[in-house]
C-alpha cells in the first residue's frame, strides 16, 4: 500500500497519535481527524464490537476517511484479554499454549488464525503477545497472559506468536517492555516502582525481547513502571534511558515503539495529557495512545503541536517517528476483506485442539470422569463479563456447557461478592461438586466463599478457569483441572476433560506451590 507522506507539522504530529472512542460506528470527530491527518489510527475495544459485519463496516469507514492512511489496532491476545468474543473465533491464551506439549507449533498456528480474522476485519495491529515473565502468584496484571516463568520458554513461544501474526499480515507487538512480571501494582490503577537490577533484566526479562527483535517483531509496547535502576524519575513510557539507551541502542531495535494508554492512572495521576504526550515523544515513542477521552486526545495533540512549535520537541524526533509510522502503515494497514474467514471450520478446529492440548489435569482422584450415575452439582464463580447473566438469574458459560452434557446436573453461578449460602446448600446435597473458580487467590471474597462451599461437599472437582495458583489457595479437592483461561474453547476443553472425552496432557509452565 502506497500512502501519502505528511508534509505539514500539524499532520506530522497527528500521525503519532492513536485514539479510542465509544460506540459501534466511528464518531464524526474521529472521521474528521482522520481526513485532516490529526490522528494516525485508532484502537478498538469490546465497546466497539457487535458482529463481524459491524466491525468491518466500522474499520471500512476509518480506512476510507484516512487521508494519510490509518492503522486499526486492538488487544486480541487470546484467552483472558480479547475484545472479539461472541461471533468470532476465540482462542486459548498464552499460559494455556505454553502448557501444551507442542506449544511452539500451536502458538504459531493459533496466532496465524487470529491474524487471518483480524485482517479480514480491517485490523492490522494486535497488541500481542505479552512476553512478561511470571514471577509471583500475587501479580495482578500478568497471570495467564504470560507464557510462564522461564525466559527461554517465553522467548521461544513469543517468537512463534510473532511469526504467526506477521506471516498473515498483522503487526505483532511485544509488551510490556522492559517487563511487567515483577510488578506488584496494576498500572491501570497506580504507578509501580521496581528496583530490579539491570543485570537481572538482561538475563531474564529482556531475553524474550532479544529473541522477538531478532525475529523481526513490528512493534514494542512500553510499560508505565519506574525502573529505578534505569531511571529514578520517569516511568519507562516517558524515559529516554529505557527507550533510547536500552531498547534502541543496547537491543538494536529500530521498529515502532508505542506507549500503553496514557489515560491509565499510573500516568494520568501524575501528568496532564499535554505533558504526558510531550514527555512520551521526547522519551522516544513513535505512537502515543489515548484510548478513551476526546478532551484528553485534543489536549495531547495541542500539547505536542505547541512543543514542536516552541522547539521543545525537535523536528527530527517527529520526522523519525513519522518515518517509522509510515512504513508501518504501508506494511500493515488495509481495509476489511473476506468475512467468510470469521469462525471458519478450520479456525475453530485449531482453537479447540490447542485448548485441549493446553489443559492440565493435576489430580484425577476417583471423581473423574463425571457420569450421570452420581448426582452432580456445579458452582461457577462467573467472569465480570457475565455479571449481567448472573444478575438476571441465568447460567454462565462453563456451567451451561456442562449442563448440556449432564442434563441432570444442578448448576449455580455467582459473582465473587454474592452470598454463597445457596451454593453451600447445593454442595451438601450432591455426590460430587464441580467448583469452577477464577483467580480466587487474588479475590478475598471469592476465596472465602469457595472455601465455604468446598467444606460442605462430599467430593470436589476443582476447575481453575484462570490462574492455576488457585490450586494452592484451595487445597483438598479430589480432582484438579487447570485450563489457564476461560475463552470459549478452553471452557469446552474443561467440560470434555471432566466427562472423559480425553485425558489432558498439559504441564503448567509455572511452579504452583503444593503441586
pLDDT, tens digit (0-9, with 9 covering 90-100), for 308-327: 999 999 999 999 999 999 99
Residue 512 domain-assigned? Answer: no
Q: Which of 276, 310, 341 represents a domain boundary (last residue)?
A: 341
Q: How far is CA 78 from CA 37, 107, 179, 290, in A?
A: 32, 11, 19, 22
Residue 392 domain-assigned? Answer: yes
Lowest mean pLDDT among 73-82, 165-174, 411-420, 464-473: 411-420
Residue 309 domain-assigned? Answer: yes
Least Cα distance to 434 among 360, 386, 497, 358 occurs for: 497
Contact 248, 254 (CB under 8 A): yes
User: How many structural domains comprise the chain?
Assistant: 2
Q: What is the pLDDT of residue 186?
A: 63
Pairing of strands 17-19, 81-82: unpaired
Q: Which of 186, 188, 244, 270 is catalytic?
A: 188
Q: What is the pLDDT of residue 24?
A: 98
Least Cα distance to 393 among 414, 419, 422 occurs for: 414
Q: What is the pLDDT of residue 484?
A: 96
Same domain, 167 and 81: yes
pLDDT bucket at 395, cuts 50 / 70 / 90: low
Mean pLDDT, to the nearest integer, of 342-369?
96
Residue 515 domain-assigned? Answer: no
Same domain, 46 and 136: yes
Same domain, 400 and 486: yes
Mean pLDDT, to the nearest integer, of 102-118?
98
Does residue 60 surpass a pLDDT of 70? yes
Mean pLDDT, to the nearest integer, of 19-45?
98
> Which are the contacts of 416, defined by CB distance < 8 A and separation ≥ 6?
381, 440, 443, 445, 446, 449
**176: preceding bond cis by omega (within 30 degrees):** yes
Same domain, 46 and 185: yes
Q: Which of 75, 126, 182, 260 is catalytic?
A: 260
Q: Is 292 a catalytic residue?
A: no
Does residue 356 surpass a pLDDT of 90? yes
Mean pLDDT, to the nearest integer, of 296-317?
98
Q: How far is CA 101 from CA 80, 105, 358, in A?
A: 21, 10, 8
Same domain, 336 and 363: no
**178: preceding bond cis by omega (within 30 degrees):** yes
Contact 228, 191 (CB under 8 A): no
Mean pLDDT, to the nearest integer, of 128-152?
91
pLDDT bucket at 386, cuts 50 / 70 / 90: low
Q: What is the pLDDT of residue 394?
A: 59
Same domain, 292 and 434: no
Same domain, 179 and 236: yes
Residue 507 domain-assigned? Answer: no
Domain that holds residue 368: 359-498
Does residue 402 surpass a pLDDT of 90? yes
* Phi, then psi, of 394 in degrees rounded to 5: -85, 180
Mean pLDDT, to the nearest integer, of 332-345?
97
* Phi, then psi, of 103 in degrees rounded to 5: -60, -40
Same domain, 81 and 215: yes
Does residue 388 surpass a pLDDT of 70? no
Same domain, 293 and 427: no
Residue 4 domain-assigned? Answer: no
Q: What is the pLDDT of residue 7?
A: 84
- CATH number for the domain spanning 315: value is 3.20.20.300
Instruction: Give percent of the chain above pLDDT 70.
Output: 96
Same domain, 305 and 393: no
Q: Is 188 a catalytic residue?
A: yes
pLDDT bucket at 281, cuts 50 / 70 / 90: very high
Does residue 100 surpass a pLDDT of 90? yes
Return the beta strands (E) in 415-459 as ranges.
432-437
Same domain, 111 and 172: yes
Q: Which of 341, 370, 390 represents a domain boundary (last residue)?
A: 341
Does residue 391 surpass a pLDDT of 90? no
Same domain, 172 and 303: yes
- CATH number for the domain spanning 427: value is 3.40.50.1700
Residue 487 domain-assigned? Answer: yes
Can you tell me the distance from the alpha carbon of 313 to that of 236, in angstroms, rounded to the nearest whole number? 18
Residue 402 domain-assigned? Answer: yes
Does residue 185 surpass a pLDDT of 70? no
Cα-Cα-Cα-Cα dihedral sign, residues 363, 366, 369, 372: negative
Amino acid at each position: 500500500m502506497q500512502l501519502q507522506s505528511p508534509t505539514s507539522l500539524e499532520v506530522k504530529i497527528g500521525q503519532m497519535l492513536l485514539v479510542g472512542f465509544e460506540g459501534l460506528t466511528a464518531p464524526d470527530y474521529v472521521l474528521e481527524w482522520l481526513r485532516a491527518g490529526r490522528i494516525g489510527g485508532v484502537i478498538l475495544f469490546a465497546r466497539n464490537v457487535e458482529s463481524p459485519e459491524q466491525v468491518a463496516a466500522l474499520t471500512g469507514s476509518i480506512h476510507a476517511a484516512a487521508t494519510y492512511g490509518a492503522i486499526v489496532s486492538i488487544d486480541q491476545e487470546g484467552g483472558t484479554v480479547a475484545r472479539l468474543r461472541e461471533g468470532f473465533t476465540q482462542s486459548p491464551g498464552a499460559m494455556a499454549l505454553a502448557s501444551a506439549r507442542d506449544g511452539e507449533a500451536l502458538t504459531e498456528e493459533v496466532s496465524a488464525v487470529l491474524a487471518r480474522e483480524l485482517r479480514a476485519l480491517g485490523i492490522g495491529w494486535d497488541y500481542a503477545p505479552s512476553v512478561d515473565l511470571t514471577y509471583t502468584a500475587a501479580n495482578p496484571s500478568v497471570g495467564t497472559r504470560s507464557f510462564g516463568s522461564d525466559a527461554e520458554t517465553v522467548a521461544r513461544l513469543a517468537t512463534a506468536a510473532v511469526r504467526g501474526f506477521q506471516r498473515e499480515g498483522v503487526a505483532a507487538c511485544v509488551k510490556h517492555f522492559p517487563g511487567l512480571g515483577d510488578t506488584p501494582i496494576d498500572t491501570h490503577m497506580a504507578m509501580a516502582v521496581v528496583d530490579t537490577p539491570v543485570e537481572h533484566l538482561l538475563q531474564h526479562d529482556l531475553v524474550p525481547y532479544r529473541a522477538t527483535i531478532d525475529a523481526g517483531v513490528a512493534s514494542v509496547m512500553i510499560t508505565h513502571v519506574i525502573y529505578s535502576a534505569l531511571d529514578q524519575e520517569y516511568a519507562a513510557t516517558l524515559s529516554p534511558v529505557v527507550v533510547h539507551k536500552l531498547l534502541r541502542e543496547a537491543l538494536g531495535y529500530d521498529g515502532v515503539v508505542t506507549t500503553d494508554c496514557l489515560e491509565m492512572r499510573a500516568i494520568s495521576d501524575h501528568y496532564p495529557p499535554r505533558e504526558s504526550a510531550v514527555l512520551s515523544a521526547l522519551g522516544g515513542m513513535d505512537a502515543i495512545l489515548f484510548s478513551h477521552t476526546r478532551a484528553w486526545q485534543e489536549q495531547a495533540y495541542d500539547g505536542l503541536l505547541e512543543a514542536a512549535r516552541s522547539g521543545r520537541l525537535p523536528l527530527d524526533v517527529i520526522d523519525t517517528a513519522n518515518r517509522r509510522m509510515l512504513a508501518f502503515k504501508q506494511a500493515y494497514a488495509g481495509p476489511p476483506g473476506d468475512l467468510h474467514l470469521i469462525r471458519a471450520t478450520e479456525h475453530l478446529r485449531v482453537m479447540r485442539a490447542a485448548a485441549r492440548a493446553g489443559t492440565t489435569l493435576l489430580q484425577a482422584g476417583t471423581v473423574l470422569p463425571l457420569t450421570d450415575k452420581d448426582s452432580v452439582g456445579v458452582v461457577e464463580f462467573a467472569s465480570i463479563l457475565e455479571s449481567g447473566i448472573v444478575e438476571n438469574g441465568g447460567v454462565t458459560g462453563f456451567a451451561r456447557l456442562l449442563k448440556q452434557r449432564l442434563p441432570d446436573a444442578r448448576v449455580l453461578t455467582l459473582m465473587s461478592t454474592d452470598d454463597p449460602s445457596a451454593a453451600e446448600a447445593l454442595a451438601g446435597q450432591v455426590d460430587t461438586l464441580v467448583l469452577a473458580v477464577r483467580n480466587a487467590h487474588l479475590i478475598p471474597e471469592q476465596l472465602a466463599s469457595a472455601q465455604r462451599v468446598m467444606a460442605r461437599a462430599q467430593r470436589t472437582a476443582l476447575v481453575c478457569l484462570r490462574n492455576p495458583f488457585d490450586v494452592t489457595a484451595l487445597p483438598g479437592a479430589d480432582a484438579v483441572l487447570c485450563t489457564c483461561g476461560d475463552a470459549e474453547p478452553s471452557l469446552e476443553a474443561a467440560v470434555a476433560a471432566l466427562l472423559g472425552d480425553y485425558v489432558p496432557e498439559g504441564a503448567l509452565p509455572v511452579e504452583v506451590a503444593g503441586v
